[in-house]
């Protein structure tokens, strides 16, 4: 299993900790940048395939996983099944171009599904809504 990157972020304990999993480097980097630009979110890692996603989830225990469906090694739905069984506290937001995958992901336990052609604001809202119930943005404290 290859780990693409794992990052320590300041204040990650008070921010929603997000792991990104996508096989396209530009998508991973753009999502990492987008998430890290938000005051209440922190990208704690990024994986390029199914096995690396599982490994990073086990090591980093993110609050939310943004998960692509079409990845080498194990597709996103297979990773989702594993996480629901082994790491059920990690909330999964499926990120795909396929509407049928969204339906399957919701059936398997994803808390949300965002189409890749949606505006970034939609993804950010899905991440925030998937965050653990105890999470309160700092501006509300």
Quick: pLDDT tens for 49-79.
999 999 999 999 999 999 999 999 999 999 9
Instruction: Give the start-to-end residue ranges of the domains of the chain.
Output: 5-130
Residue 47, C-beta contacts closer than 8 angstroms, at least 6 positions apart:
3, 4, 19, 20, 21, 53, 55, 56
Dihedral sign for Cα 23, 24, 30, 33, please.
positive
The tokens for 118 are 């949606």
CATH superfamily membership of 5-130: Response regulator (3.40.50.2300)
Stretches in the chain below the pLDDT threshold 50: 1-13, 134, 140-141
Per-residue model confidence (pLDDT) at position 33: 98
Query: How far apart are alpha carbons 18 and 6 in whole angstroms?
Result: 11
Query: How far apart are alpha carbons 30 and 123 in whole angstroms?
Result: 12
pTM for the model stands at 0.85
Classify residue 33 as exposed, middle or buried by CB count within 10 Å of its CB (0-12, 13-18, 19+).
exposed
């Amino acid at each position: 299993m290859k780990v693409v990157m794992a990052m320590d972020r300041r204040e990650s304990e008070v921010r929603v900790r997000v792991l990104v999993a996508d096989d396209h480097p530009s998508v991973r980097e753009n999502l990492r940048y987008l998430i890290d630009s938000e005051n209440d979110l922190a990208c704690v890692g990024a994986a390029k395939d199914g096995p690396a996603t599982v490994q990073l989830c086990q090591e980093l225990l993110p609050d939310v996983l943004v998960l692509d469906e079409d990845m080498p090694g194990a597709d996103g739905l297979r990773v989702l099944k594993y996480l629901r069984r082994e790491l059920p506290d990690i909330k999964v937001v499926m990120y795909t171009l396929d509407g049928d995958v969204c339906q399957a992901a919701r059936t398997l336990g994803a808390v949300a599904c965002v189409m890749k052609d949606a505006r970034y604001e939609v993804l950010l809202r899905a991440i925030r809504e998937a965050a653990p119930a105890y999470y309160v943005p700092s501006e509300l404290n």
